[in-house]
Amino acid sequence: MKNEQVYLIGTGLGSLELLTLGAVRSIGLADVILIGSLVNPDVLEFAQGNAQIVYVGKRGGCHSTPQTLIHKQMVSLACAGKVVVRIKGGDPIMFGRGWEEVQTLRQDGISVSVVSGITAELSIPLAYRDCTHGLKIVTGHTQETKETNWQALAAIRITLDIYMSMSNLGYIVQQLIAHGLSKDIFAAAIQNGTLLNQQQVLATLGLIESLVATEKMANPAIAVNGEVVRFSIDAEQVSQRFAA
């Protein structure tokens, strides 16, 4: 094993208040930081003044840095003796390319430390036991959506937490209703959670797509389907929407 070191860091939802101590300390060790487009740039205030910053954004529908190039950069920098910090939003290995990066580095004999990030804080008790017996987390991303067994997910009747779901929300809603979920069950969509520009729509499954379109919400965002939405911190908004 070589002595080079890479830190793969998740910065959470965006608010600096949700950074872990491990993330702050690791950022402070970096000679080079590779930062994604979904990361709050204010995290760079914890970097050394002479740290090199490399922007490697990946955002659906926009120009993105090829994943193979990111792999090559990380390997090359680590092999040059640099302490490399790769910063991603949320948790670094949740539905992203983080684990591919870990595997690539390990194949080259480079040690990697993974620093977890808070992946979701929705002001909704996703696993509130009075109204659900479980929570299922799935991706709504374009590549995987049509391969997902929406019939099985509708049948288990637990909270569904669907990441990166905005571009396929209509198809997802259609599938869930077609396979037995009521259009009147509670649903929510949250974008930029914890930040000042947070957007949140609380409605029913049948109304959620049109309201998301009205608000012009886009990925990255999370959709939640289930009775737990009734207990959102914004319960008054929920009541008003469902009464409409």
Task: List where CATH 3.40.1010.10 sits in the chain.
Answer: 5-115
Any residues with CB less than 8 A from the CB of 186 and at least 6 apart, and which?
202, 203, 204, 205, 225, 226, 227, 228, 229, 230, 238, 242
**Is residue 3's pLDDT more than 50?**
no
- Can you tell me the distance from the alpha carbon of 144 to that of 131, in angstroms, rounded to the nearest whole number? 29
In three-state secondary structure terms, 112 is: strand
**Which of the pair, 63 or 42, is modelled with greater confidence?**
42
| CATH fold for domain 135-243 | 3.30.950
DSSP string, 145-193: HTTS-HHHHHHH-SEEEEES-GGGHHHHHHHHHHTT--TTSEEEEEEST
- Can you tell me the distance from the alpha carbon of 114 to that of 86, in angstroms, rounded to the nearest whole number? 10
- Tell me whether the omega of the peptide bond preceding residue 220 falls within 30 degrees of 0, making it cis: yes
Q: Does domain 5-115 have CATH number 3.40.50.720?
A: no
pLDDT tens digit sequence for 43-89 = 999 999 999 999 997 655 555 788 999 999 999 999 999 999 999 98
Task: List where CATH 3.30.950.10 sits in the chain.
Answer: 135-243
Highest mean pLDDT among 74-88, 140-154, 183-197, 206-220: 74-88
Q: How many residues does the chain have?
A: 244
**Is residue 239's pLDDT more than 70?**
no
The confidence score (pLDDT) of residue 236 equals 54
R_g of the chain computed on alpha carbons: 20
In three-state secondary structure terms, 244 is: coil
| Among the ranges given (26-35, 142-151, 231-240), the one the predictor scored with the smallest mean pLDDT | 231-240
